[in-house]
Amino acid sequence: MSQSNWPLWEVFVRSSRGLSHVHAGSLHAPDAEMAVRNARDLYTRRNEGVSLWVVKSSDIISSDPDEKDAFFESPQGKDYRHATYYKASEGVKHL
Amino acid sequence: MNHDELDATLDSFGDALASATRVTPGNALRPEDIAVDGVAPSDEVAAYALTLGDDSLILAQRLSHWISRGPELEEDIALGNIALDVLGHARSFLTYAGLAMGKTEDDLAYWREEEEFTSLWMVEQPNGHFGVTIVRQLILSIYQHLLYSKLAESADETLAAIAAKAVKEVDYHRDHSIMWTIRLGLGTEESAEKMRHALEILWPYVDEMFLDEEIHRTLPEVAVLPSSLREDWDKEISAVLADAGLEIPATGQAMAHGRRGEHSEHLGYILAEMQVLARKHPGATW
Protein backbone atom coordinates (compact mmCIF):
# COMPACT_ATOMS: atom_id res chain seq x y z
CA MET A 1 0.00 0.00 0.00
CA SER A 2 1.11 3.51 -0.71
CA GLN A 3 1.87 6.08 1.96
CA SER A 4 -1.50 7.73 2.51
CA ASN A 5 -1.81 11.47 2.13
CA TRP A 6 -5.56 11.30 2.54
CA PRO A 7 -6.97 13.10 5.58
CA LEU A 8 -8.56 11.23 8.45
CA TRP A 9 -12.34 11.32 8.94
CA GLU A 10 -14.48 10.33 11.92
CA VAL A 11 -17.56 8.26 11.12
CA PHE A 12 -20.90 8.42 12.94
CA VAL A 13 -23.63 5.86 12.22
CA ARG A 14 -27.30 6.14 13.10
CA SER A 15 -28.63 2.62 13.49
CA SER A 16 -32.32 3.44 13.12
CA ARG A 17 -34.78 6.29 13.07
CA GLY A 18 -35.17 8.04 16.40
CA LEU A 19 -31.73 7.10 17.70
CA SER A 20 -28.77 9.46 17.55
CA HIS A 21 -25.63 9.02 15.48
CA VAL A 22 -22.96 7.05 17.36
CA HIS A 23 -19.23 7.28 16.73
CA ALA A 24 -18.22 4.12 14.90
CA GLY A 25 -14.60 4.69 13.97
CA SER A 26 -12.43 6.51 11.50
CA LEU A 27 -11.10 6.15 7.97
CA HIS A 28 -9.01 7.83 5.28
CA ALA A 29 -10.59 9.46 2.23
CA PRO A 30 -9.48 12.09 -0.29
CA ASP A 31 -12.56 14.29 0.26
CA ALA A 32 -15.93 14.45 2.03
CA GLU A 33 -17.96 12.77 -0.72
CA MET A 34 -15.59 9.82 -0.89
CA ALA A 35 -15.46 9.67 2.90
CA VAL A 36 -19.22 9.04 3.07
CA ARG A 37 -18.84 6.26 0.50
CA ASN A 38 -15.91 4.68 2.29
CA ALA A 39 -17.90 4.88 5.52
CA ARG A 40 -20.75 3.06 3.81
CA ASP A 41 -18.34 0.33 2.71
CA LEU A 42 -16.55 -0.02 6.04
CA TYR A 43 -19.24 0.55 8.64
CA THR A 44 -22.62 -0.42 7.17
CA ARG A 45 -21.87 -3.78 5.54
CA ARG A 46 -24.29 -5.66 7.77
CA ASN A 47 -27.32 -3.40 7.85
CA GLU A 48 -25.91 -1.37 10.74
CA GLY A 49 -27.25 1.98 9.68
CA VAL A 50 -29.80 4.24 8.05
CA SER A 51 -27.70 7.40 8.12
CA LEU A 52 -24.03 8.37 8.14
CA TRP A 53 -22.11 11.46 9.19
CA VAL A 54 -18.44 12.03 8.49
CA VAL A 55 -16.42 14.81 10.04
CA LYS A 56 -12.81 15.65 9.29
CA SER A 57 -10.91 14.57 12.39
CA SER A 58 -8.98 17.84 12.43
CA ASP A 59 -12.29 19.74 12.70
CA ILE A 60 -13.14 18.12 16.00
CA ILE A 61 -12.12 20.21 19.03
CA SER A 62 -11.60 17.94 21.99
CA SER A 63 -10.91 18.46 25.66
CA ASP A 64 -7.27 18.23 26.71
CA PRO A 65 -6.44 14.89 28.42
CA ASP A 66 -3.87 16.73 30.58
CA GLU A 67 -6.61 18.89 32.00
CA LYS A 68 -8.73 15.91 32.95
CA ASP A 69 -8.70 16.79 36.65
CA ALA A 70 -9.71 20.40 36.21
CA PHE A 71 -12.38 19.45 33.71
CA PHE A 72 -13.99 16.37 35.14
CA GLU A 73 -13.18 15.95 38.84
CA SER A 74 -14.91 19.09 39.98
CA PRO A 75 -18.40 17.51 40.16
CA GLN A 76 -17.15 14.88 42.61
CA GLY A 77 -18.48 15.49 46.10
CA LYS A 78 -21.06 17.94 44.83
CA ASP A 79 -23.96 15.65 45.51
CA TYR A 80 -26.35 18.57 45.66
CA ARG A 81 -26.20 18.64 41.85
CA HIS A 82 -28.19 15.40 41.83
CA ALA A 83 -31.92 15.37 42.40
CA THR A 84 -31.51 12.40 44.77
CA TYR A 85 -29.58 14.64 47.20
CA TYR A 86 -32.77 16.36 48.23
CA LYS A 87 -35.30 14.90 50.62
CA ALA A 88 -38.94 15.27 49.76
CA SER A 89 -40.54 17.91 51.96
CA GLU A 90 -43.18 16.73 54.36
CA GLY A 91 -46.64 16.66 53.02
CA VAL A 92 -45.67 16.68 49.37
CA LYS A 93 -47.63 14.03 47.54
CA HIS A 94 -47.08 12.50 44.15
CA LEU A 95 -43.31 13.08 44.08
CA MET B 1 -16.60 -20.20 -4.36
CA ASN B 2 -14.62 -18.32 -1.75
CA HIS B 3 -17.55 -16.02 -1.10
CA ASP B 4 -17.89 -16.84 2.61
CA GLU B 5 -14.20 -16.65 3.28
CA LEU B 6 -13.95 -13.29 1.63
CA ASP B 7 -17.02 -12.04 3.44
CA ALA B 8 -15.62 -13.10 6.80
CA THR B 9 -12.38 -11.27 6.08
CA LEU B 10 -14.19 -8.09 5.18
CA ASP B 11 -16.59 -8.45 8.08
CA SER B 12 -13.73 -8.45 10.56
CA PHE B 13 -13.20 -4.76 9.79
CA GLY B 14 -16.68 -4.01 11.11
CA ASP B 15 -16.50 -6.16 14.24
CA ALA B 16 -15.87 -3.23 16.55
CA LEU B 17 -19.23 -1.88 15.51
CA ALA B 18 -21.25 -5.02 16.06
CA SER B 19 -22.02 -4.29 19.70
CA ALA B 20 -22.76 -0.60 19.21
CA THR B 21 -25.37 -0.92 16.51
CA ARG B 22 -28.18 -3.13 15.43
CA VAL B 23 -27.17 -5.80 12.90
CA THR B 24 -29.77 -7.52 10.75
CA PRO B 25 -29.19 -9.84 7.82
CA GLY B 26 -32.15 -8.51 5.80
CA ASN B 27 -34.38 -10.67 3.65
CA ALA B 28 -33.35 -10.30 0.02
CA LEU B 29 -33.57 -13.13 -2.50
CA ARG B 30 -30.60 -15.47 -2.09
CA PRO B 31 -29.20 -18.08 -4.50
CA GLU B 32 -29.94 -20.72 -1.84
CA ASP B 33 -33.65 -19.83 -2.09
CA ILE B 34 -33.57 -20.17 -5.87
CA ALA B 35 -31.87 -23.58 -5.58
CA VAL B 36 -34.52 -24.86 -3.15
CA ASP B 37 -37.74 -23.12 -4.21
CA GLY B 38 -36.98 -22.10 -7.78
CA VAL B 39 -38.99 -23.38 -10.74
CA ALA B 40 -36.76 -24.68 -13.53
CA PRO B 41 -36.69 -22.24 -16.46
CA SER B 42 -37.02 -23.24 -20.10
CA ASP B 43 -33.81 -24.06 -21.97
CA GLU B 44 -33.92 -20.66 -23.69
CA VAL B 45 -34.39 -18.71 -20.45
CA ALA B 46 -31.61 -20.77 -18.85
CA ALA B 47 -29.29 -19.94 -21.75
CA TYR B 48 -30.09 -16.26 -21.30
CA ALA B 49 -29.56 -16.41 -17.52
CA LEU B 50 -26.22 -18.08 -18.22
CA THR B 51 -25.01 -15.11 -20.28
CA LEU B 52 -25.77 -12.73 -17.40
CA GLY B 53 -24.27 -15.09 -14.84
CA ASP B 54 -21.09 -15.51 -16.88
CA ASP B 55 -20.62 -11.73 -17.21
CA SER B 56 -20.93 -11.34 -13.44
CA LEU B 57 -18.78 -14.36 -12.58
CA ILE B 58 -15.82 -13.33 -14.72
CA LEU B 59 -16.09 -9.69 -13.62
CA ALA B 60 -16.20 -10.77 -9.96
CA GLN B 61 -13.12 -12.94 -10.49
CA ARG B 62 -11.29 -9.99 -12.05
CA LEU B 63 -12.35 -7.54 -9.32
CA SER B 64 -11.51 -9.83 -6.43
CA HIS B 65 -7.91 -9.79 -7.62
CA TRP B 66 -7.74 -6.26 -6.14
CA ILE B 67 -8.17 -7.57 -2.61
CA SER B 68 -4.97 -6.79 -0.68
CA ARG B 69 -3.73 -4.84 -3.72
CA GLY B 70 -5.93 -1.70 -3.53
CA PRO B 71 -4.27 1.70 -3.57
CA GLU B 72 -5.59 2.34 -0.04
CA LEU B 73 -7.17 0.09 2.57
CA GLU B 74 -10.52 1.85 2.15
CA GLU B 75 -10.48 1.38 -1.62
CA ASP B 76 -9.38 -2.23 -1.21
CA ILE B 77 -12.54 -2.85 0.79
CA ALA B 78 -14.71 -0.87 -1.66
CA LEU B 79 -13.56 -3.01 -4.59
CA GLY B 80 -13.89 -6.15 -2.48
CA ASN B 81 -17.48 -5.22 -1.64
CA ILE B 82 -18.25 -4.62 -5.30
CA ALA B 83 -16.67 -7.94 -6.26
CA LEU B 84 -18.82 -9.70 -3.67
CA ASP B 85 -22.00 -8.01 -4.92
CA VAL B 86 -21.21 -9.06 -8.48
CA LEU B 87 -20.37 -12.60 -7.36
CA GLY B 88 -23.76 -12.69 -5.66
CA HIS B 89 -25.45 -11.80 -8.96
CA ALA B 90 -23.47 -14.53 -10.71
CA ARG B 91 -24.53 -17.09 -8.11
CA SER B 92 -28.21 -16.25 -8.54
CA PHE B 93 -28.15 -16.31 -12.34
CA LEU B 94 -26.08 -19.50 -12.50
CA THR B 95 -28.17 -21.27 -9.89
CA TYR B 96 -31.31 -20.41 -11.84
CA ALA B 97 -29.80 -21.47 -15.18
CA GLY B 98 -28.57 -24.69 -13.58
CA LEU B 99 -32.11 -25.70 -12.55
CA ALA B 100 -32.87 -26.34 -16.24
CA MET B 101 -29.72 -28.41 -16.70
CA GLY B 102 -29.64 -30.39 -13.46
CA LYS B 103 -26.47 -28.52 -12.46
CA THR B 104 -25.42 -26.42 -9.49
CA GLU B 105 -23.82 -22.98 -9.62
CA ASP B 106 -20.48 -24.67 -8.85
CA ASP B 107 -20.89 -27.19 -11.68
CA LEU B 108 -21.37 -24.29 -14.07
CA ALA B 109 -18.59 -22.14 -12.63
CA TYR B 110 -15.91 -24.80 -12.29
CA TRP B 111 -16.64 -27.53 -14.80
CA ARG B 112 -17.24 -25.77 -18.10
CA GLU B 113 -14.57 -25.13 -20.69
CA GLU B 114 -13.61 -21.78 -22.14
CA GLU B 115 -15.79 -22.09 -25.25
CA GLU B 116 -18.82 -22.84 -23.05
CA PHE B 117 -18.56 -19.47 -21.30
CA THR B 118 -20.82 -16.80 -22.80
CA SER B 119 -19.38 -13.72 -21.11
CA LEU B 120 -18.57 -10.44 -22.84
CA TRP B 121 -15.00 -9.55 -23.72
CA MET B 122 -15.25 -6.41 -21.61
CA VAL B 123 -15.47 -8.37 -18.32
CA GLU B 124 -12.37 -10.44 -19.08
CA GLN B 125 -10.12 -7.48 -19.87
CA PRO B 126 -7.20 -7.22 -17.42
CA ASN B 127 -7.45 -4.99 -14.36
CA GLY B 128 -4.42 -2.96 -15.47
CA HIS B 129 -3.72 0.03 -13.24
CA PHE B 130 -6.43 1.43 -10.97
CA GLY B 131 -7.67 3.75 -13.73
CA VAL B 132 -8.27 0.84 -16.11
CA THR B 133 -10.34 -0.97 -13.50
CA ILE B 134 -12.31 2.21 -12.80
CA VAL B 135 -13.05 2.80 -16.50
CA ARG B 136 -14.08 -0.85 -16.94
CA GLN B 137 -16.34 -0.44 -13.90
CA LEU B 138 -17.76 2.80 -15.30
CA ILE B 139 -18.58 1.14 -18.63
CA LEU B 140 -20.05 -1.98 -17.04
CA SER B 141 -21.88 -0.50 -14.07
CA ILE B 142 -23.76 2.02 -16.22
CA TYR B 143 -24.57 -0.83 -18.61
CA GLN B 144 -25.71 -3.24 -15.89
CA HIS B 145 -27.73 -0.53 -14.17
CA LEU B 146 -29.72 0.09 -17.36
CA LEU B 147 -29.96 -3.65 -18.06
CA TYR B 148 -31.17 -4.68 -14.60
CA SER B 149 -33.62 -1.77 -14.43
CA LYS B 150 -35.32 -3.21 -17.51
CA LEU B 151 -34.86 -6.84 -16.51
CA ALA B 152 -36.70 -6.10 -13.25
CA GLU B 153 -39.82 -5.83 -15.48
CA SER B 154 -39.14 -9.17 -17.19
CA ALA B 155 -41.99 -11.64 -17.70
CA ASP B 156 -39.75 -14.19 -15.98
CA GLU B 157 -40.37 -13.66 -12.27
CA THR B 158 -37.10 -15.10 -11.03
CA LEU B 159 -34.99 -13.03 -13.41
CA ALA B 160 -37.06 -9.98 -12.44
CA ALA B 161 -36.45 -10.65 -8.74
CA ILE B 162 -32.69 -11.15 -9.19
CA ALA B 163 -32.52 -7.94 -11.23
CA ALA B 164 -34.59 -5.97 -8.71
CA LYS B 165 -32.07 -6.81 -6.00
CA ALA B 166 -29.03 -6.37 -8.24
CA VAL B 167 -30.05 -2.97 -9.58
CA LYS B 168 -29.67 -1.33 -6.16
CA GLU B 169 -26.19 -2.75 -5.76
CA VAL B 170 -25.13 -1.83 -9.27
CA ASP B 171 -26.43 1.68 -8.67
CA TYR B 172 -23.79 2.02 -5.97
CA HIS B 173 -21.08 0.52 -8.21
CA ARG B 174 -22.01 3.15 -10.79
CA ASP B 175 -21.76 5.91 -8.23
CA HIS B 176 -18.37 4.60 -7.07
CA SER B 177 -16.92 4.53 -10.59
CA ILE B 178 -18.36 7.95 -11.51
CA MET B 179 -16.84 9.52 -8.38
CA TRP B 180 -13.42 8.12 -9.24
CA THR B 181 -13.65 8.92 -12.95
CA ILE B 182 -14.29 12.58 -12.16
CA ARG B 183 -11.51 12.76 -9.58
CA LEU B 184 -8.93 11.03 -11.76
CA GLY B 185 -9.98 12.86 -14.92
CA LEU B 186 -9.69 16.24 -13.21
CA GLY B 187 -6.83 15.23 -10.92
CA THR B 188 -3.23 15.59 -12.06
CA GLU B 189 -1.89 15.50 -15.62
CA GLU B 190 -0.67 11.96 -14.90
CA SER B 191 -4.05 10.71 -13.63
CA ALA B 192 -5.84 12.26 -16.63
CA GLU B 193 -3.35 10.64 -19.02
CA LYS B 194 -3.87 7.27 -17.36
CA MET B 195 -7.64 7.63 -17.72
CA ARG B 196 -7.29 8.49 -21.42
CA HIS B 197 -5.10 5.41 -21.83
CA ALA B 198 -7.68 3.26 -20.01
CA LEU B 199 -10.47 4.51 -22.27
CA GLU B 200 -8.39 3.72 -25.35
CA ILE B 201 -7.64 0.14 -24.39
CA LEU B 202 -11.19 -0.70 -23.26
CA TRP B 203 -13.33 1.12 -25.80
CA PRO B 204 -12.86 -1.51 -28.57
CA TYR B 205 -15.01 -3.91 -26.49
CA VAL B 206 -17.98 -1.56 -26.09
CA ASP B 207 -19.95 -2.43 -29.24
CA GLU B 208 -20.14 -6.12 -28.33
CA MET B 209 -22.10 -5.27 -25.18
CA PHE B 210 -24.98 -4.03 -27.33
CA LEU B 211 -25.09 -6.83 -29.93
CA ASP B 212 -28.47 -8.55 -30.19
CA GLU B 213 -28.06 -12.31 -30.46
CA GLU B 214 -30.49 -15.08 -31.35
CA ILE B 215 -31.08 -15.77 -27.64
CA HIS B 216 -32.39 -12.23 -27.07
CA ARG B 217 -34.71 -12.31 -30.07
CA THR B 218 -36.30 -15.63 -29.09
CA LEU B 219 -37.29 -14.24 -25.68
CA PRO B 220 -38.90 -10.86 -26.39
CA GLU B 221 -40.88 -10.71 -23.10
CA VAL B 222 -38.12 -12.13 -20.94
CA ALA B 223 -34.77 -10.87 -22.19
CA VAL B 224 -33.62 -7.27 -22.49
CA LEU B 225 -32.55 -6.48 -26.05
CA PRO B 226 -28.96 -5.21 -25.65
CA SER B 227 -29.30 -2.74 -28.53
CA SER B 228 -32.18 -1.06 -26.66
CA LEU B 229 -29.72 0.07 -23.96
CA ARG B 230 -27.27 1.82 -26.26
CA GLU B 231 -28.85 5.26 -26.52
CA ASP B 232 -29.24 5.76 -22.77
CA TRP B 233 -25.78 4.32 -22.13
CA ASP B 234 -24.16 6.67 -24.66
CA LYS B 235 -25.92 9.63 -23.10
CA GLU B 236 -24.98 8.72 -19.55
CA ILE B 237 -21.33 7.86 -20.11
CA SER B 238 -20.80 10.92 -22.32
CA ALA B 239 -22.09 13.15 -19.52
CA VAL B 240 -19.75 11.56 -16.97
CA LEU B 241 -16.74 11.80 -19.27
CA ALA B 242 -17.57 15.44 -20.00
CA ASP B 243 -17.71 16.15 -16.25
CA ALA B 244 -14.32 14.45 -15.92
CA GLY B 245 -12.72 16.41 -18.75
CA LEU B 246 -12.36 13.20 -20.78
CA GLU B 247 -13.52 12.19 -24.25
CA ILE B 248 -14.73 9.08 -25.99
CA PRO B 249 -11.63 7.79 -27.79
CA ALA B 250 -11.54 7.27 -31.55
CA THR B 251 -10.74 3.56 -31.58
CA GLY B 252 -11.88 0.72 -33.80
CA GLN B 253 -14.06 -2.07 -32.48
CA ALA B 254 -12.91 -5.63 -31.76
CA MET B 255 -14.63 -8.53 -33.55
CA ALA B 256 -15.82 -9.87 -30.21
CA HIS B 257 -18.43 -12.62 -29.90
CA GLY B 258 -18.25 -13.80 -26.31
CA ARG B 259 -21.92 -14.81 -26.31
CA ARG B 260 -21.02 -17.48 -28.89
CA GLY B 261 -18.16 -18.81 -26.80
CA GLU B 262 -15.42 -17.00 -28.71
CA HIS B 263 -13.09 -15.24 -26.29
CA SER B 264 -10.00 -13.08 -26.07
CA GLU B 265 -6.73 -14.62 -24.93
CA HIS B 266 -7.44 -13.63 -21.32
CA LEU B 267 -10.33 -15.92 -20.40
CA GLY B 268 -8.29 -19.13 -20.46
CA TYR B 269 -5.94 -17.81 -17.80
CA ILE B 270 -8.82 -16.53 -15.66
CA LEU B 271 -10.52 -19.93 -15.78
CA ALA B 272 -7.29 -21.81 -15.07
CA GLU B 273 -6.87 -19.88 -11.83
CA MET B 274 -10.55 -19.92 -10.90
CA GLN B 275 -11.12 -23.62 -11.59
CA VAL B 276 -7.87 -25.27 -10.53
CA LEU B 277 -8.84 -25.98 -6.93
CA ALA B 278 -12.25 -27.45 -7.72
CA ARG B 279 -10.75 -29.64 -10.45
CA LYS B 280 -7.76 -30.80 -8.43
CA HIS B 281 -9.89 -31.67 -5.41
CA PRO B 282 -13.37 -32.50 -6.76
CA GLY B 283 -16.09 -32.10 -4.13
CA ALA B 284 -13.77 -30.32 -1.69
CA THR B 285 -15.56 -28.10 0.81
CA TRP B 286 -14.41 -25.62 3.44
CATH class of A1-61: alpha beta
Question: What gap in Å lies between CA B211 and CA B259, rounded to an integer?
Answer: 9
With b for 16 or more beta-carbon neighbours within 10 A and e for fewer, the B45-81 pattern comes to bbbbbbbbbbbbbbbbbbbbebbeebebbbbbbbbbb
pTM: 0.85
Q: Hey, are the CB atoms on B14 and A27 less than 8 Å from each other?
A: no
Q: Hey, are the CB atoms on A27 and B81 less than 8 Å from each other?
A: no
Tell which of A11, A36, A45 to mutate to test the B interface (max B CBs under 10 Å): A45
- CATH number 3.20.20.70 given to B3-8+37-252+259-280: no
pLDDT at B156 exceeding the cut of 50? yes
Query: What is the complex's ipTM, to 2 decimals?
Result: 0.74
| B25 and chain A in contact, CB less than 8 A | yes
Q: Which of A5-19, B216-230, B253-267 has the lowest mean pLDDT?
A: A5-19
Residues B81/A38, Cβ–Cβ less than 8 Å? no
User: Cα dist. B183→A31, B144, B216, B257 in Å?
Assistant: 10, 22, 37, 33
Q: Hey, are the CB atoms on B17 and A24 less than 8 Å from each other?
A: yes
Give me the residue spans of the domains in chain A: 1-61
The pLDDT tens digits of the residues spanning B83-100 come to: 999 999 999 999 999 999
Q: What angle do CA B198, B199, B202 make, to 5 degrees?
A: 85
The pLDDT tens digits of the residues spanning B89-133 come to: 999 999 999 999 999 999 999 999 999 999 999 999 999 999 999
Q: Which of A20-24, A78-82, B69-73 has the lowest mean pLDDT?
A: A78-82
Q: Hey, are the CB atoms on A47 and B13 less than 8 Å from each other?
A: no
Give me the residue spans of the domains in chain B: 3-8+37-252+259-280
The pLDDT tens digits of the residues spanning B40-51 come to: 999 999 999 999
Residue B44 is predicted with a pLDDT of 97
SS3 state of residue B137: helix
The pLDDT tens digits of the residues spanning A49-84 come to: 899 999 999 999 998 888 888 888 888 888 888 888
